[in-house]
């Protein structure tokens, strides 16, 4: 099952949903803003994406700039920050089977199905 971790207020996230629709794919939307991900779910997602936790952080968010920017932060603390402040999570994230991508730009989504 294809999953898209989605924030409807984000244009790039809405583009990701549209890309999946245009590809004719069935998918499940995970609204991680309304239903925040647990630390364990974030760890699994980071493992699927095969990236360090820092690469999943939106560094232009006000929360990041005021609380975390310029500080030495452990991976576990980054995961805790994303669990506490879901707006910090990059979007959209698309997973399929054991692979995943951050769908920026939306063309990256296609790599899941090649």
Length of the chain: 114
Looking at the annotation, which residues are catalytic? Answer: 10
* Contact assessment for residue 102 and residue 11, using Cβ atoms and an 8 Å cutoff: no
């Amino acid at each position: 099952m294809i999953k898209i971790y989605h924030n409807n207020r984000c244009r790039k996230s809405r583009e990701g949903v549209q890309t999946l629709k245009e590809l004719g794919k069935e998918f499940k939307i995970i609204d991680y803003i309304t239903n925040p991900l647990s630390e364990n779910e974030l760890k699994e997602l980071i493992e699927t994406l095969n990236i360090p936790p820092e690469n999943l952080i939106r560094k232009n968010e006000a929360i990041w700039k005021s609380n975390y920017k310029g500080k030495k932060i452990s991976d576990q603390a980054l995961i805790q920050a994303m669990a506490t402040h879901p707006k910090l999570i990059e979007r959209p994230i698309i997973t399929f089977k054991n692979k995943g991508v951050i769908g920026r730009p939306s063309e990256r989504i296609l790599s899941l199905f090649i």
